[in-house]
Structure 1
Amino acid sequence: MDVCTLGDLLDAVGGASVRLVTAPAGLTAPVTEALLYDAHAPLPRVPGALLLAVGVRPDDAGPVLAAAAEAGMTGVVLRGAEGHAPDDVHGVALLSVDEDAAWHHVHLLLASAIGARPAPSAGGLGDLFALADAIAAAAGGATAVEDPRQRILAYSTVPGQPVDEDRRQGILGLQVPVSAENTEQYRRLFAADGPVRLPALRDGGLPRLAVAVRAGGETLGSVWVIDAGTLAPDAEDTLVQGASTAALLLLRARAARELARHLGDDLLRRLLEGTADAATAAQRLGLDGAVRVAAFVPDATASVPDAERTALRLLDVVRLQCEARYGRHACVLVDGVVYALLPAPGARHRALAEDIVARAGRALRVPVRAALGGTVPDVAGAAESRADADLVLRILDPDLPVAAIDEVRPRVVLLRLRELMAEHRELSADGAWRRVLSYDAEHGTDHARTLVCWFDAGCDMAGAAKRLAVHPNTCRYRLRQVQRQLGVDLDDPDERLVLWLQLRTLAGLRQATA
């Protein structure tokens, strides 16, 4: 599928709003999304992106332009760049907006245009613009196609057709202005079975002819035509036919989005399993360089009425937060665990995980845990990072809801040793550790815990006694009993090491504290 190009974007929003200063790569360069620049965060690698250089003056834009080029971006948007463009734009396109333009407004405008109007040959939502022009020409009035949330998906550009301020503002932000009067008109529209004629909302405005777009009882959006007294006699019939075509286009676009997401999810799932081609995955996911896997899961001990629905909601939270920081992002739900593939550098990964855990916990009303696997050189190592994250998930608890593999590696190693030892009879069935535990159970002694505290204190008697909150002579007596009655040679370093590992891993004993 083709993507939106720089030329397509300028056709949709260019002119007074966004102006092209220079395009070294031409107008056919792809534009994938619009990102806001954050001077305090590393620039993400998002090929084809437009970077909105918030807080950057044209005279100081050189480093940002160079970084954008290094990240594979298509262009940079600056305030007041005309006449002040740097001599070297490093091969990226440079666009300009007015000095008083609000960055959030510019971001909304560009992001909506990129998402709503791909290249004309791409079909889907791009065809809605052609449909809007066709309806406008046949009905005799400027036309707009909206989704159920009053976001403008497409609009006509037939010359000479009258428009009013509401249309201008709606197209500028790709969102119908909110008002009580608008809400009432939409209520009337969606309650009707056919076209509805609606009066102007304010002085200087123009009335509308509108119809809901439906498919199988589902409302997909609406089509609006401005009635400036020039509508054709069969305008209502034209509108009904146009709504039918719009329904097909919207369903097709939805299917294409769902298919793309499904394919992306399947690719990431295979990448995490180690069965995907790494080069293909890196290209399709837009991840070039070091990555790490983050894993998120609801607390298994919490009561969750609908575990599947909770996991899907967690996926939405993780995807939203990752996309807000890294743009288009790879997240997938596998066996109740949400995995996200995070690009390096990873200095901010833990903060992101903590933020997601807090947000998801509030939204889902269920505690959430997060684990960060190790950083690997490229996506080929994603399965290894995922394995690390899975291990970390298993040792998390309410006192440690978020952790990275490097922070808890000793505990992870002990976990794996316990599993390995439990799988092999010669490592777990017999030995001194079982004799010690049996003796404690039969005689009510505390020899096993005394041994663990002594080992953990580096075989220092005073340190072990402090951990046990007993007199050193008591600790010394217990150890003599272990040697005499149970035949454990505590002078043998090999026996000490094996006994300590078995008590810590297989018996799950930890030192006591005073």
Structure 2
Amino acid sequence: MPGLPLGELLRLPSLSRARPLAGDLGRLVTWVHVVDVPEPAPWVREGQLVLSTGYAWPREEGALRLFAQALARAGPAGVVLAVPQFFENFPRAALEVLAQEGVAVLELPWEVPFAQVVEEVLRRLLARQLEVQERVQVLHRALMASLLAREDLASFLARLSQLLGKEVRWAEAKEGGFAVPVPQGREPGGYLVLEGAVEDLDVQMLENAALVAGLILAHQRALAEQEARLGYAFLDALLEGRRQALTPERALAFGLDLGLRYRLGVALLPLDLPLSQRGFQERERALGEVRDLLRRKGAGAVVSASLNQVRFLLPERLDPEAFVRELARPWAFYFSRAHPAQELSTALAEVERFFCLPTPGVYVYEAHLVPRFLQGDLEARRELLALLASLRPQERAALLAWVRAGFRHQEAARALGVHLNTLRYRLRRVGERLGLSLGSPEDRFLLELAARVWSLEHKEP
């Protein structure tokens, strides 16, 4: 039964004449009981207001202290002694022991009938119980309306806080404040936490709210799983080149802009195959992190999962390395070239060429031409040849001579029969046209590789 503070019950007609002597009047009273036996402890329960005439109380001080200690251990909210009859006043020895334990100590004039006290207290407690139940029903209907309106968890918590007039928050683990577990299968899915003083209404309301929160989470999880399955199928269809899957309606549903170009990104997770149950959970967690970051960036969250991979589409406007830095995960990330949404059928093959490089890092297709060539990638060979094909004949001849001369300018100029400054000018034009730095060891290696491939292709010495 819901309790009421003892101080509030002192406003009842029968108890208005009671005189508080010590103890905590804020203790909750859940029942009222007349006890007049030599050993009252077995008859007393926690939260009860004990009424006594003192008839069976001991008179000797030491015995009174032992009597009060046994009574205090039972945890009553308060002890009311009718005076003066068997005691002129509440005996000090008993008063000190009870007050030390926080039990409220009161004197009541002898002429006030205990029957009147019991009746008034019980009526008030029952009325309080009805008030709480009616209020709980009103609040429960409001919570069910929230559920039927398909509010998310954040909106539900805001509504619950408004209804209770106190802040209710979500916590993954049990912590400070009054916490009620939210059921999700056999284990708690989290906790609803209420800070500050907690009343009976709060307890019942939070218990009901926990069930509703569990239903909301279950509904959201079911929607997320359905969305994930549809998203997986949609992305897989794009990668397989099934253009019939890319209707304007589906593109709009998944936030895909048909006017933009996208890279296929693949995060290779350090998980053993076949995946264990924990592995599946870690993969789903990783997929959720990627999806959330895409949404924060204003991109459509087109994602899927396969084995130990998380696949996603990254708009060309987003820098792959910056995206991975913000994700802050020590995984290997591979990115294809940017393609129109309708032409992603080659993207997966582009990404898979990097899978021999499993070290955590960011591998972007265009930026890793040399590793692709060394793996026998014919597309990389064509790209190397295209570098030199984009040059003017004199520029290409200058580059080839410079490479054959071991990057020695004077020797290359003599081989071409041109002035040294002419060679330098043509090489500078090569760097500008290709967007490379001829002083960079990496770019020099790339140019030498391209020159060697060109010479082999065109059977030049």
Short-chain TM bin: 0.3 to 0.5
TM-score (ref. length: structure 2):
0.41
Q: Tell me which structure has the larger Cα radius of gyration.
A: 2
